[in-house]
Structure 1
Amino acid sequence: MDHAATLDELFRERVRRSADRVAFTEYHSVSESWVDYTWADMAAEVERWQIAISDLNLDKGDRVAIHISNGVHWVACDQACLRLGLVVVPLYVDDRPDNASYLLEHSGASVLITDSLEIWQKIEQCDETLARLKTVVVESATAVLPQSVYLLKEWLPKVGAHLERGMSDPDDLASIVYTSGTTGRPKGVMLSHKNMLSNAYAALRSVPVRPDDVALSFLPLSHTFERTIGYYLGIMAGARAVYNRSIKFIVEDLQIHQPTTLISVPRVFERFYSRIMQSVSESSRVKRFLFRKTIELGWRKFQYDQKITNWFPSLILWPLLDKLVAEKIRKLTGGKLRFAIIGGAPLPYDVAKLFASIGIPLIQGYGLTESSPVISVNTEAGNRLDTIGLPLRGVEVCIGDDDELLTRGDNIMLGYWQNEEATAGTMTDDGWLRTGDKACFDDGYLKIIGRLKDILVLANGEKVPPADMEQALVSNPLVSQVMIVGEGKPYLSALLVLEPQAWKVFCKTNGLAGDIDLNDERVEELILAQLAKNLKEFPGYAQLRRVHSALTEWTAEDGLITPTLKLKRP
């Protein structure tokens, strides 16, 4: 922080210190090979982008939208824009064209960098006028380019030019990041250089990432969690980032590159958990016994390492069980993972416990786009799995009216873009951000105990936080995705997406034909009976009476979840 007051200065300082070290690795589909880029290579790439963008004659503060997949181009465009005093508007590649069009119009973007001409044509056909958009640059095209649309490889010059001094100041607007929009239109969160830089620095002091660390980056860089903690913190630490080819290759890429750290949402590890539990359920009695003993002893070891419990004589058996069981499971993530930082949604306790027990600590944190994003996080030495950790250094927190968590600090947004009313409703006069989450302290650690708004009120007046029930249900191997519904109704129901392999086993176990209707009355009764085990700790009114099941996964493209994998509630 002493050597860099802006995000572009941070990048330049890293280039100065580590020019010949590998900074990023990405896959090139044409050559079908992985390519490394040193910090010096990246500096040269950024300088090419600076020249190309400078030639567009933009003014300081103009907006440039980045709508491409994670990779060297994303980073180079971002750094060039920040150096030139421009404002980056990151868009989700998987977002619907109509939503991307709305965000371009709302932000007043002058430039769009997107994956392909076909994607641009879909965006262009939407209802927005896009009056301020003057230039579109596409990475690929299979047809003749219309006016003001350029092919990236032809638009970028062969060589760039060095800018001795950037045009940004710490308090300048660096990015407009649109919230996922679980309800209604997304809002544009205005984040300054200081907001994101201070948050990355504070997070690095809590979760020390090392220069020799390798991170596999698979969350989109348009996700503030990945951008601040995976990208900017990575620059700060001098670590290497490997860009995952796509989520369908995540297991293969984990095993190729054997990362030591990950930034992830719970969904990824929920899937690993389901896969592990399904495999165990289909294994021999001996293997199931060894798995149970490994988890029991691994959990004791984790608690001992955390200084929660004393040493147990049975821990002398850990090296054997680790070799027989835990090490084989760890190879799912490459075998070298020191920890994974988890955020974006609540992490189910059973999932966290299993991975802690096999030697992969999931370090849960908490935050919002409006806080750049991290507010609190657990640490390696103090990892309380049922909490969201300790507040970051320099980040103030307090519990307000109705147990709402409030926070204040250099990481808090400048406000919402062109939405003073929403800003006033979210920020207090003395600078506190209202998170909308209910929280409490437990021995200094923060716990989220509910949402102020995400509450279902049943016909009898009982109030149910659906997220708590959903979190309990996704720990069942049969459940891939779930949404609890029942507002104003006399009982609760669940919309389910089932894990295909687990469904096959479920049918075999219960004597069901493989082609039976998922919503057959008998199937519904059997599924309800299985899910009741996960809800036994909930009160009587918070139980399921009906389920509707499917095998087709919900996606952002069909509008059922956000690009950050959060449910879109009715």
Structure 2
Amino acid sequence: MTRNIAQFFSQHLAQRQQILYRHFVDERWRDVSVAEVATQVSRWQAAFRREGLAPGDRIALCARNGVTWIAADLAALGLGLVVVPLYVDDNPENAAWCTGNAEAKLLLVENSRVAAALRAAATAGSPLPPLCVLRPDRGEASTHAETFLPKSSGDLEVRGMPDDALATICYTSGTSGRPKGVMLSHGNIIANVRQCQALHMARADDRFLSMLPLSHMFERTGGYYLPLSIGAVVAFGRGVASIADDLMSQRPTVVFAVPRIFDRFRARIEQALAESPLKKRLFDACVERGVHVAKKGATLTDHMMLPLLRALVAGPILARMGGRMRFSVVGGAALDPELSRAFIGLGLPLLQGYGMTEASPVIAVNREGDNDPETVGPPLPGVDVRLSDSGELLVRGPNVMIGYWRNEEATRAALDADGWLHTGDLAEMREDKIMIRGRAKDIFVMSNGEKISPQDVEIAIAHEPVFEQIMLVGDGRPYAILLAVTKGADEKALVQRANAQLKTFPRWARVRHVIATPDPWTVDNGLLTPTQKLKRPRLVERFKDRIERAYREAPLD
């Protein structure tokens, strides 16, 4: 069978005036039609042909979400080129290394600043390929999009590709060591989109708001290829600082999000409720009754009370998110079940899902009518899962990767002879649903033999707003301590506030010291990955002297 991801777009060419995208240009939101996208795609293809690029050649794309990203991606895929997406906010040395490792023949970059940073980071042994700057500074001499793209072009081309033909190399933002290049085929990604379609996760009349970077497969498949496959509109958000305004102005019906977006809304809600005991009681009543209805169906009392409570409580809150959202698929990190229950009660289901780049990426997701916040839902149709003897989740299906780019050892470790992908996550099954217990490599065993999944403890402590970022430490130690970004200075008070969130945990999971710092952990200082995951080994190394000193002192709790 020959197919091409770009067919998700070419199927719409007959409806040239159909609106597919909205973006913010010249201080206003503007619609973008099929015809306009097709023109851009054709121009990019003409430029790629002129550069002598052939099927299988790699182009690297380091740009922010927008129509240009989409057009360049579709143009490359249509010609059988391989797209290597890079994070604009990644460490320049890392992005330059990925470009060299993929042996990209062309690099498209967001702006002059990014281009300069990548040039400075490139090494003599791994120079950068020719660059095209998408949004250059005025007067800059380097190649930029307006001079790179021909003014006119021929017809848009979509070549039929074998299902196993390489479509993209996505570098995982590893928490330690160099990232690995995940090879995904046209067949892998098309299969994952079809699997999501089977769950009716998108409708043609939906409007998506794209908030996560397209270099992340969660957004690329769920927020780009999925809506494109059925002709839904995607509005490109303007960035983290504008999320609230973009939700209000674009009024999306579906968003693919990470938990921290809804954490921010919860913090604002809790701040408002703290000022009014009456509002707090009404909020709690609305959530409790809404969760009951979602689980067990509505009673006569529910039919009478819930619409009133939602009008009084949920309406103003959800209006701040545009007021039209049917649901949000949440992934990329563990979702606090209490956060999910709160929004379920308000009438906005947060559907926790689970995936990894190696699976294109969606593996499992909760459903609108069957949403269990403590699980990541059942596997997608066509995805097989099982647990190994050690409790590791294994996955098999048409969406599972080809392997790692030029890394046979890592490929053999991840994919066994029967095609099972070893996820590295410990899991349990609750009937047909998957419960993730944490990364196998992150689980630590204390000196008393007890095991701790740090993510579970961290999610609970994160309810305490004094902590901005946290990480639990305790492998091989007699008790746990907490690394924390916080403005709080009184360590004993910080220990008490952390442990106040751990009342339902075993006593040995409580923290006995807090190592506090006011300095955020960021991608730039090497403590976070581009997808905002903690680089745990790096953090332990950064704070090792303070950690050792804390363990020499008497515990505070």
Q: Same fold (TM over 0.5)?
A: yes
Contact preservation (8 Å) 2:79, 2:157: no
How many Å apart are 1:331 and its aligned residue?
Answer: 1.6
Distance 1:142 1:203 in 2: 41
State yes or no: 1:116 paired with 2:111: yes
Mapped to 2, the partners of 1:431 and 1:327 lie a distance apart of: 48
Q: What secondary structure does 1:401 align onto?
A: coil
2: CA distance between counterparts of 1:334 and 1:328? 10
Alignment partner for residue 95 of structure 1, among 90, 95, 118? 90
Specify every segment of 5 or more residues in structure 2 that has no aligned partner in the other structure, as ranges: 538-557
Give matches, 1:340-489, under 5 Å: 340-489=328-477
What is the CA RMSD across the aligned residues, in angstroms?
1.9
Partner of 1:544: 511
Structure 1 residue 312: Cα displacement: 5.5
| Alignment check: 8 A CA contact 1:14 1:235 kept | no
**CA offsets per residue over residues 90-132 of structure 1, 9 Å max, x none?**
0001101111111111111111100122221211122533657
Compared with structure 1, are the counterparts of its residues 323 and 550 closer, same or farther at alpha carbon in structure 2 (3 Å cutoff)? farther
Normalised by the size of structure 2, how large is the TM-score?
Answer: 0.93
Aligned-partner Cα distance in 1 for 2:158–2:101: 31
1:304 aligns with 2:304: no
Q: What is the one-letter code of the residue matched to 2:357? A: T
Which residue of structure 2 aligns with residue 21 of structure 1? 18
Contact 2:16 2:33 in 1 (8 A): yes
The question of whether the paired residues in 2 share the 8 Å contact of 1:215 and 1:240 is answered with: yes
- Does the 8 Å CA contact 1:218/1:243 hold for their aligned counterparts? yes
Q: Which range moved further: 38-47 or 186-195? A: 38-47
CA separation in 2, counterparts of 1:418 and 1:390?
Answer: 33
1:391 is paired with a residue of what secondary structure?
A: coil
State the partner residue of 2:551.
none
Q: Would the alpha carbon gap of residues 127 and 111 (structure 1) be closer, same or farther in structure 2, given more than 3 Å must change?
A: closer
Aligned mate of 1:222, from 212, 215, 219: 215
2:231 to 227, 231, 238: 238
In 1: Cα distance, 2:96 partner to 2:121 partner: 7
1:166 equivalent in alignment to 2:159: yes
* Partner residue in 2 for 1:187: 180
Instruction: Identify the residue that residue 285 of structure 1 maps to in structure 2.
Output: 277
Contact 1:397/1:408 (CA < 8 Å) preserved in 2? yes
Trace 1:38-77 onto structure 2 (pairs within 5 A). 38-77=33-72
Unaligned runs of 5+ in 1: 499-516
For the Cα contact (< 8 Å) 2:41–2:156, is it kept in 1? no
In structure 2, what is the Cα distance between the partners aligned to 1:174 and 1:432? 21
Give the superposition deviation at 1:336: 0.8
Q: Which residue of structure 1 lines up, in the alignment, with residue 123 of structure 2?
A: 128
1:258 matched to 2:251? The reply is yes
Partner of residue 295 from structure 1, selected from 287, 290, 296: 287
Confirm or deny that 1:528 pairs with 2:495: yes
Q: Which moved more, 1:380-389 or 1:61-70?
A: 380-389
Instruction: Choose 526-535 or 324-333, whichever is displaced more.
Output: 526-535
| SS of the residue 1:410 aligns to | coil
How many residues align? The count is: 537
Deviations 1:168-215 (A, max 9, x none): 332210000000111211100000001011001101212431111011
Select 1:151's aligned residue among 144, 147, 152. 144
Aligned partner of 1:501 in structure 2 is: none
Inter-partner Cα distance in structure 2 for 1:132 and 1:289: 62
1:21 Cα offset (Å):
1.7
The answer as to whether partners of 1:482 and 1:495 remain within 8 angstroms in 2 is yes
SS of structure 2 residue aligned to 1:26: strand
CA distance in 2, matches of 1:395, 1:187: 23
Tell me what 2:32 maps to: 37
**What amino acid maps onto 1:485 in structure 2?**
V
- 2:306 counterpart letter in structure 1: W
Conserved? CA contact 1:206–1:377, under 8 Å: no
Q: Secondary structure at the match of 2:370?
A: coil
In the other structure, the counterpart of 1:506 is: none
Q: Distance in 2 between matches of 1:49 and 1:239?
A: 23
**How far apart are residue 302 of structure 1 and its match?**
2.1
User: Where does residue 201 of structure 2 map in the other structure?
Assistant: 208
2:548 is matched with which residue?
Answer: none
Given residue 223 of structure 2, which amino acid in structure 1 is its aligned partner?
Answer: G
